[in-house]
Amino acid sequence: MKKYALFPGCLISSRLPHLESITLKVLEKLGIKVELLENVTCCPEMVSAKMVNVKAWYTIAARNICLAEEKGLDMLTLCNGCNATLFRVNEDLKRDAKLRLEVNRILKEVGRKFEGKISVKSLLRVLYQDVGQNEIKKYVRKPLHGFKVAVHYGCHIFDEIAHYDDIKKPKSLKDLVTALGADVISYSSEMLCCGGFALPLSEEISLKLAEEKLIDLVNVGADCLVVICPYCFLQYDTAQALLNERYNKNFEIPVLYYSQLLGVAMGLSYRDIGLEFHEIKSTKLAQLISGY
Amino acid sequence: MSLRSAIYDAMKKYNSMRNVRSTTSPPNFYTLITFFGEFGFVNFILYCRELISSVIMKGTAVPMTHRMMRVRKALDLPQIKFDNIEVKKIAEAMGLFKISGEGE
């Protein structure tokens, strides 16, 4: 049985714990063990931390990786942002001996040492590569036939995706959705950023970016949008509520983290899947879960 | 200005900001805040500063609330303890307190 050191990340731990909960449930059903890492810090977030001090970004991230190394487990990330930082730092420090030496000189102050012994993997990579579509199919109790799913990868996953998928035409998440029996639908703004990055700059730009995709999803008749990043999840879920409230729009496209869609197909309950925590609910989805 | 050109403009400023940052030592950060304030990017710089400050002082960019602690408990999830001891030592060793404003 495969086992990973779980790095849930700040946002899932502190704002979206239902996504952590459903992920643990589906991983358990798939026979994957996880050990929650204790005393972690923020990954730290790539854009802000790199801009302030690149070496600090490497060092704080390396310290988090050390915690998984000390357990002798590969690290599992649930957030694209965490993955972008931890995957990149792990790869760079393994490759660059001079940088590793500099980082380890500072880590020595806290009694740690980066050894480069483990891999950092996203949930997408673990499910796509380590588990595989065929294995996932075995656990489907309620095939999602006729359910039209649009996927959104999220910008920060593409550094890792380049190692196992085509970054121009990625299919890993689509394959995982297809494995559940659902129909993946294409739409023109599939690769568009969720706009979460623009939030500290301009809420208006951020909402407009989200709206561009939401309009496309309505036009293609998507039953839901599936994401693999909690920031993208939050952006699309809350943006719809804000757009509906402030601009009199009528968006009601449920946004699901992939573990939630997997949970639906595995026959887990509405409560297990955590849909009560969503801004946007869906009757069709609720009917699908309850078996009507 | 269209959405795309606004984003393009934002990304251009952001990239120029990063280029300057990579050749500037940490104590000059406040100069940069002034500089990018003129670009209209002061919000973003302050956001970065706040975020780094939170990571150094609390170990997390998104502090845990009592409500979320209750939600975690209800979901049968263990309480999360973020490190704020080792990260402070790292920050101290790298002169980050000055940037985050915590050492003022």
Nearest-CB residue to A48 (from B52, B78, B80): B52
pLDDT of B3 reads 54
pLDDT of A196 reads 83
For residue B75, what are the contacts with CB-CB under 8 A and spacing of at least 6? A17, A18, A20, A21, A274
Phi, psi of A112 (to 5 degrees): -125, 160
Over residues B79-96, mean pLDDT: 90
pTM (two decimals): 0.88
ipTM of the complex: 0.89
How confident is residue B20, by pLDDT bands cut at 50, 70 and 90? very low
Q: Which domain holds residue A150?
A: 132-290
Using 70 as the pLDDT threshold, list the residues of chain A that sit under it. Answer: 201, 291-292
Q: Are residues A32 and A55 in the same domain?
A: yes
Q: Which two tokens stand for residue A221?
A: 């008749």
How confident is residue B15, by pLDDT bands cut at 50, 70 and 90? low
pLDDT of B31 reads 45
How confident is residue B24, by pLDDT bands cut at 50, 70 and 90? very low
Q: Are residues A206 and A184 in the same domain?
A: yes
Q: What is the CATH number of the domain that holds A199?
A: 3.40.50.11810
**Is the predicted pLDDT of residue B40 greater than 70, yes or no?**
no
Q: Are residues A120 and A246 in the same domain?
A: no
Identify which has the larger pLDDT, B32 or A175. A175
- Among A124, A143, A172, which residue terminates a domain? A124
d(CA A253, CA A255): 6
pLDDT of A168 reads 84
Over residues B46-63, mean pLDDT: 87
Nearest-CB residue to B61 (from A42, A109, A200): A42
How many contacts does A have with B, using Cβ atoms within 8 A? 133
Q: Are residues A139 and A118 in the same domain?
A: no
Q: Are residues A246 and A143 in the same domain?
A: yes
Rounded to a whole number, what is the distance in Å from the CA of B48 to chain A's nearest CA?
5
How confident is residue B10, by pLDDT bands cut at 50, 70 and 90? low
Q: Which residues of B touch A51 (CB under 8 A)?
A: 17-18, 21, 48
pLDDT of B13 reads 57
What Cα–Cα distance (Å) separates residue B90 from each residue in A56, B83, B104? 8, 12, 18
CB B75 to CB A17 under 8 A? yes
Q: Are residues A185 and A85 in the same domain?
A: no
Q: How many other CB atoms sit within 10 Å of the CB of residue B65?
A: 11
pLDDT of B9 reads 61
Q: Are residues A201 and A79 in the same domain?
A: no
Q: Are residues A160 and A280 in the same domain?
A: yes
Number of structural domains found in chain A = 2
Q: Are residues A98 and A223 in the same domain?
A: no
pLDDT of B30 reads 44
